[in-house]
Each structure stands twice: as structure tokens, then as C-alpha cells.
Chains A and B, each alone.
Chain A
Amino acid sequence: MSVLEQIKKQFSRIAVTEKNDRRAYINADNDTAKAIVVYAVNELRLRLSTISGVDTRPGVELLYHLAADREARVITVRTLAAKPDLEINSVTPEIPAAEWVEREIAEMLGVKFTGHPNLTTLLLSDDWPAGVYPLRKQSFESRQELKETEN
């Protein structure tokens, strides 16, 4: 049984889109998404390639790219860290590979990963103003704020 079928069997109420035989996308709510990612990595031995964060109107979309290396397929689990809190459970306690990836997203997009063991500055400078997130779409306002803090 392919890993995608195993995921479908384990989690019955998820929306799966198979774009082609190499790419599949799964939409899920926060808790299910975490459960799928942890199950896929720790049980099915998929590899968490990375997590992409996309700033959208309702919040920050998180896409967990899981590489199924034996099946030449990349399965992407999509979930939304909703505004205004942008809070989501961290997968780092279960998957150590996510530590840096989540730290990067927290810095760049302002997502709060609850339960992350070490959510400190990774890429931005130590004196970067709090609450300014460079990869957000409203970066113009962020830049204005940055200017004000500099002055």
C-alpha cells in the first residue's frame, strides 16, 4: 500500500488532491495536520523536507512538505495558522528536523509555535525590533514601523 493510501486510511476525514503521480496535497485543520505529519514521519518514515509559510488574508498558511523517497512523491500537508493569534502546535518535540525550520518561520512570518523547545532568533539580528516580520505581505507598514523605531 502506498504511503498516501495509508494516510487516507488512518485519517478518514481529510481532503486529498492528487495533482499528478508525483505531487499530492492534503488540506487539514491544525490538530489533524500535526497528527498526519507526525504519523508520516515517525511511522511511515517519510522525510520532512521543509515547511513553507505563506502569508494570506486569513492567516499564515503552513505547508509541510513530506518527501516519500521510495515512491518518488512529495506529499504536502496544508493547514492554516489563523489570525489574529497565528498560533499552532509545534512538531519539533516529535520531529527534531523541524527545529530550525519552525524557528525560521516564527521569525520571518510571526507564527507562534507552542511547545517549541527553543524558539530563539536564528537568522535576524539580535536587535531586530519585536513584532516586525520581514516576509509578511504588509511589509510596507512593517518597514515604516522599522523606520520609526530606528528614529
Chain B
Amino acid sequence: MAKETMIPIGPYHPLLEEPEFFKFYVEGEKIVDAEVRVGYNHRGVEKISEGKTYDQATFVVERICGICSTSHPFAYTRAVEDVSGIVVPERAEYIRTIIGDLERIHSHLLWVGLAGHFIGYNTVFMWAWKYREPVLDMFEIISGNRNHYNMFKVGGVRRDIKESDVPGLLKAIDDVEKFCNMLLKAVIDDPVIKARLKNVGVLKKDDAIALGVVGPVARASGVAIDVRKDHPYAAYDRVSFEEIVMEGGDIFNKAAIRLLECIESTKIIRQCLKQMAPGPIDAAVREVGSGEGIGQHEAPRGECIHYVRSNGSNNPERHKIRAPSFMNVPSFKLTVIGESIADAALITAAVDPCYCCTERMAIIDRESDKVLLTGAEMVRLSQAKTERLKNKCLY
């Protein structure tokens, strides 16, 4: 296959996070080989961080991801605290947990909505995004921002949750749970969605372990890993919640896991809001000693890990960042080969790297090396397949 004739399709939106460029080699409808190129948005944050103070770097890492903007500060502050064993006050731990899990709900709902759009279920898309709004409103009540909450700092959090806000937040979280339950029933009981997503893009358990995938992608394949359970941190060991694990490894499992996790997250947030006792929210860290530290956080997409080395000065000597998608994206090669083109858009989106990936897909015919389909056409193909299934189920 002569890769030189490859023509990238679609504009490279710099606004969207994680642009990836997939090349699929097809024979007829079937995908026989696949390649991926990433790095279009590599901003060298690890290097930028070396020039910032420990406080400033918190803001820098928050800008790594627009959707799960708390994952990186969470892991980063834990890494810095691990350097010299800084103990975070209990109330701050609760507030961190609330922010971390509110973010999980809004990120998962965003994905469910987009997955609905890909398979031609625009009602699911509109529901999921409508019910995501109250979550963003809760963020606004707590932090003043709908995204990029800037709640984290080394040694604690920046803002307290006001006692007067708690009843409103509790009511909002009840509503969110109701919505999630409704959405879950609507998605799981729908025969068309089941026929469309079951046994598509299966990632086997052995492959999931070998590739080291994390988060919902691993849990959908029967690998029970969750940083919140395995390496208890913040207030996750003070609340009760279930770790959702499924065996199938297909897209249906991945969707179901994300919806069930939303419901678990509402439980976590409710318990935190009720258990939180008044107290300090900041350990008032004066200096970070020399040494090294590792911080983990279960981001919506899986384990996010930061490594920080300090030489006792104001800024980190080395700051290594590993986002969960870095482990999850390579798994697409095993899941996509042998599937039809109509499913490719969905399978590559199933690991939740970012929806913009599909806009960068190009289908290449093995014999002529010609680019055949663009991202928009692929979404249309995927929606057409659902239509066919729908007609079959209904009539």
C-alpha cells in the first residue's frame, strides 16, 4: 500500500481536542488494516510546565482537556502532594471528590449523546445533552464556571461549597439521577440500539489486559480496574459505590457502563454533600520539598497519571503526563479490523477519545489507493445502517 497517495479529508479543527487521523484500508465493505496518527494538537505541556511554578502549573494542566478539565489538576496536585507527603484537609478531599464525579457525569452524558447521533438516534443526543445542562449549572453554582472550574490547588481546593448551596445541589443531583435512570432504560431496552451495538467492535479481555487499556474501556471487557477502588484517594474510600464491570467488550457494554457509572457518581456526590463537615479547605503549603511523586486519578476515560520530580526549587524539574486515551486509542486496531465501514465511526469513538476523530477519517480502497469516503459520509453510512435495522425490527 502506497501511503504517499493518502489525502487527508476534513479540516483540522484546532478548537476540538485530540484530533486523530485514522487511515482504514478496505476491501469492499470490510476493513483489512488500519493506521492512526496522533499529535496534531501536541502542545508540549510537559515542557511548558517545567517553566511554571507549582501553582501556575495547575492552571496549565487544567487546559489540557476541555471536557474533563479536572482530571489533570487532580492527578497533578496529588503528584505534588506525594513528593513531600502533604496531607489535604478532609473537607477539601470531599470537595475534590464532588468535582471529580460531577465531571464524570457530564463527560459520559456527552459521549452517550454523540454515540446516539452517530447511530442516527438524535433523540438520545438531545436528551443526553439537555440533561447534561443541570450538571454544568451545578458546576457554576460551586465554582462560578461551567467548565475549567479552577478548583484545585496543591494542598487543597480554591473555593468552598457554601452551606446555603447544599440543598439546591442535592435537589439537582436527584434530578440528574432520575434523568440518567430514564436514559438508561431508554437505551438498554431499545431493540434497535441493541441490534446495532451488540457484538460490534469487541475488545477481548486478554487483549484489553495486554494493551493496558484503562477506564470504561477496560471495565467493559471484564477487567476490573478503577483507581477509585484500587488506590483509594480523596473521599472515595469514605463513600459507598459500585464498580461497574461487564464482560462483553462491545460498544453496547461500553455505553451501558458509562450510563451506570453516571448513576453511581450521583450516589457518590450525594453522600459527599451529606457527610462533609465544616473545616479548613487548604493545607497552606509554603514550599514543595525535593523528591519525586506520582499522582493518579480515575478520569472519566480511565486512569490519568502524573509524575513530578522536584529539585526543591519553585518549579518542577520534570513533569510527565499520561492521559487515559493514550492507552485506549491503540486498542482500536484490534476492534476495527474485520468490521464494516458503517461501524468504523462508532468503534473508534467507543473508547471516547473525542468525537472529532471521525471527521478525520478517510477510507482508502486497497486496489486503487483512492480516498473514497469522508467523515460526514461515514456518519451517514452509520445512520443508514440503523435505519435498516429499525425497519427490520419494526416491520
Contact = CB atoms under 8 A, between A and B. Distances in A.
Interface of B: 37-39, 42, 44, 46-47, 82, 85, 209-212, 225, 230-232, 293-294, 296, 303, 305, 307, 309, 317-318, 320, 322, 326-327, 329-330
Contacts of A123: 38-39, 42
A26 B139 CA distance: 42
Interface stretch (A1-9, A31-39, A47-55): A47-55
A135 B42 CA distance: 12
A96 B329 CA distance: 13
Interface string A74-111: 10100000000000000000011101110010000000
Interface of B is mostly: mixed
A135 B330 contact: no
A63 interface: yes
Contact of B39 (A63, A72, A73, A125): A125
Contact of B305 (A45, A49, A70): A49
Contacts of B330: 99-100
Contact of B326 (A48, A72, A100, A134): A100
B320 A50 contact: yes
A15 interface: no
Contacts, number: 81
Contact of B211 (A96, A124, A139): A96
B212 A48 contact: yes
Nearest to A105: B320
A99 B212 CA distance: 11
B261 to A, nearest CB: 18
Contacts of B318: 52, 54-55
Given A23-B294, A54-B309, A124-B42, 9 more contacts: A49-B212, A49-B296, A50-B305, A76-B294, A95-B212, A96-B210, A100-B326, A100-B330, A135-B46
A50 B320 CA distance: 10
The 7 A-B residue pairs with the shortest CB-CB distance in the complex, in nearest-first order? A97-B212, A123-B39, A50-B322, A52-B320, A69-B230, A52-B307, A54-B318
